[in-house]
């Protein structure tokens, strides 16, 4: 996926997740959307820094890099939500291309893509980006409304409760 697709994805995702996290449709909803927008957009653009430094679709397109951004906020109390942008960048690069990304780099150089991936030059690229974003918002809402309440009911200190703390909700 190209930069335009990643930015479109980040903007729509911030609006959708903002509504999921704060569905009151008040000023607080808009604040949540704005609060998400910059870090998610930064995360969505960050992996392609490896076009200049390292190997593109490998050095910054892998699960260890995502793990660093998931854990970072718990230790340093900043960069919340940036991991959301990075995760969604990976999803778009896997689905929005035939080449794929090296998810397990540096342990493996194998690139994981989608055989029917829509290339960045396709006229359907924006449509695919919007559809993928809608699926992501649905998945996030399912976790937010169904999985996280379950984890709270069982034990407030479960790993999922920890995940909720990382997300900052």
Q: The tokens of 115 are what?
A: 């055989």
Query: Cβ of residue 137: shortest distance to Zn ion, in angstroms?
Result: 20
Each residue 64-93 as x (binds Zn ion by CB under 5 A) or -, in order, gives -----------------------------x
**Cβ-based nearer residue to Zn ion, 93 or 136:** 93
Q: The tokens of 168 are what?
A: 């900052």
Cα(8)–Cα(37) distance, integer angstroms: 11
Q: The tokens of 104 are what?
A: 């397990």
Cα(134)–Cα(88) distance, integer angstroms: 11
Query: Cβ of residue 92: shortest distance to Zn ion, in angstroms?
Result: 8
**Cβ-based nearer residue to Zn ion, 48 or 136:** 48
Among the residue ranges 48-56, 69-77, 107-115, 151-159, the one whose residues contact Zn ion (CB under 5 A):
48-56
77: left (phi over 0), alpha (psi -120 to 50) or beta: left
Among the residue ranges 44-52, 63-71, 137-145, 161-169, the one whose residues contact Zn ion (CB under 5 A):
44-52
Query: Cβ of residue 84: shortest distance to Zn ion, in angstroms?
Result: 15
Among the residue ranges 8-16, 39-47, 73-81, 130-138, the one whose residues contact Zn ion (CB under 5 A):
39-47
Q: Binding of Zn ion at residue 111 (CB under 5 A)?
A: no
Cα(19)–Cα(157) distance, integer angstroms: 26
Residues 44 and 88: beta-carbon distance below 8 Å: yes
**Cβ-based nearer residue to Zn ion, 16 or 47:** 47
Q: Binding of Zn ion at residue 48 (CB under 5 A)?
A: yes
The alpha helices in the chain, defined as continuous H runs, are: 3-21, 27-45, 63-76, 82-95, 125-142, 148-154, 159-167
Query: Cβ of residue 48: shortest distance to Zn ion, in angstroms?
Result: 5
Residues that bind Zn ion (CB under 5 A): 47-48, 93
């Amino acid at each position: 996926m190209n930069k335009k697709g990643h930015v479109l994805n980040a903007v729509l995702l911030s609006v959708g997740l903002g509504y999921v996290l704060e569905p009151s449709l008040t000023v607080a909803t808009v604040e949540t959307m704005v609060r998400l927008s910059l870090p998610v957009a930064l995360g969505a653009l960050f992996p392609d820094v490896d076009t200049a430094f390292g190997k593109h679709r490998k050095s910054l397109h892998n699960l260890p890099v995502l793990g660093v951004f998931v854990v970072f906020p718990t230790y340093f109390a900043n960069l919340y939500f940036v991991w959301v942008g990075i995760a969604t960048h990976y999803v778009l690069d896997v689905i929005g291309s035939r080449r794929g990304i090296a998810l397990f780099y540096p342990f493996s150089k194998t690139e994981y893509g989608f055989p029917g991936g829509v290339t960045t030059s396709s006229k359907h690229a924006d449509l695919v980006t919007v559809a993928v974003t809608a699926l992501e918002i649905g998945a996030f809402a399912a976790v937010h409304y169904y999985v996280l309440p379950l984890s709270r009911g069982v034990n407030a200190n479960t790993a999922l409760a920890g995940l909720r703390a990382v997300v900052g909700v």
